[in-house]
Amino acid sequence: MHQPTDALASPRFTGVRTFARLPHVPEIAGADVAIHGMPWDGGTSFRSGSRFGPEAIRSMSALLRPYNPAVGVMVFGNLSVVDAGDAPTVPGYIEHTLPRIEEFVSGIIDRGAIPLGMGGDHSVALAELRAVAKRHGPVAYVQLDAHHDLWDAYNGLPYNHGTFAKRAIEEGLIDPAKSLQAGQRGSLYGPDDYEVAADLGIRLVPWQELRHWTPAQFGEAVEKRAGDAPLFLSFDIDFVDPGVAPGTGTPEVGGPSADQALDFVRALKGRNLIGGDVVEVAPQYDGPGQQTALMAANVLYEMLSLIALRRA
């Protein structure tokens, strides 16, 4: 079973950086979960740089240990996990990049592993969703994010990190009736911006509402919509307060603390997670302490915990 290098025997700052010091296994054979990078930032509307997000998350994930006391599960003892490396991308050409990421993620799924991705800007989720929908049909979809990414177009062109979720609904990758977005905040283009979610059939819980919910309430809202359907969880790091996670491209002030943000992920306990990602980590804008990349590594760790808990 694929396990991380033991930190008590070999210091955590040693070794070629893979996620959580897991073995780098491009062929993925026999893994329950494959962590993979999607180094692409061509769909970014403000600050680029998330093409180095996977490198940064790998670097800080060296701090992860096998057992998660917050939810009481042995993550790496129960799951065989690998770092599958990075999907190929083509700088400057979003329409050539998305199919390559899709194919890469499909390769993971075809080998029987659950894909957990490290972005890369959020447009990569369209590729991931194409891959998971190819296997599972329209999936339940939960998006924790300061933005809904349901805009129609920028400059009249269809693909970028602010439009991908609308595309995913249009392409039938997501079942909106089973899906939910939460955490949206910040200024908008107009008073109807949030209504587009209702029009498309997906539930939207803005941060102004979510901040008054308990994690349990959030978990129930997701359970009510998604039930046991195959569920893809997309976590945009800008969901978190930029005071905590400044290293991202389109920060919106306010938002959950680190504890709150992790609690919302933990609230999905019991759901049928068949894929997920953490996106929009732009290490150029992170502090020298790389707190944003560390946060992202921990979010992925909580996703691994959800999978381990369900399998346990």
- Residues 122 to 141: which contact its own copies by CB under 8 A? 123
- Alpha-carbon distance values, 47 to 88, 248, 294 (Å): 21, 8, 20
- Alpha-carbon distance values, 102 to 87, 117, 204, 293 (Å): 9, 12, 26, 24
x-or-dash string of contact with its own copies, 274-293, rule CB under 8 A: ----------xxxxxxxxx-
Decide if residue 59 touches its own copies (CB under 8 A). yes
Decide if residue 1 touches its own copies (CB under 8 A). no
* C-beta of 59 vs 272, nearer to its own copies: 59
| C-alpha 108: how far from chain center | 16
Q: Which among 50-58, 105-113, 124-132, 227-235 is the span making contact with its own copies, rule CB under 8 A?
A: 50-58
Cα–Cα distance between 145 and 153 in angstroms, integer? Answer: 19
Nearest distance from C-beta of residue 308 to its own copies, angstroms: 12
Decide if residue 51 touches its own copies (CB under 8 A). yes
DSSP one-letter string for 6-59: PTTTS-TT-SS--GGG--B-TT-TT-SEEEEEE---TT-SS---GGGHHHHHHH
x-or-dash string of contact with its own copies, 247-266, rule CB under 8 A: xx-xxxxxx-xxx--x----
Decide if residue 99 touches its own copies (CB under 8 A). no
Nearest distance from C-beta of residue 138 to its own copies, angstroms: 26
Both tokens assigned to 301: 């760790």
Q: Which among 5-13, 108-116, 137-145, 171-179 is the span making contact with its own copies, rule CB under 8 A?
A: 5-13
Please choose, from the candidates 192, 259, 272, the residue with its C-alpha nearest in 3D space to the C-alpha of residue 229.
Answer: 272
Residues 199-228 that bind its own copies (CB under 8 A): 206, 208, 211
Nearest distance from C-beta of residue 257 to its own copies, angstroms: 7
One-letter-per-residue 3-state SS of 56-74: HHHHHHHHCCCEECCCCEE
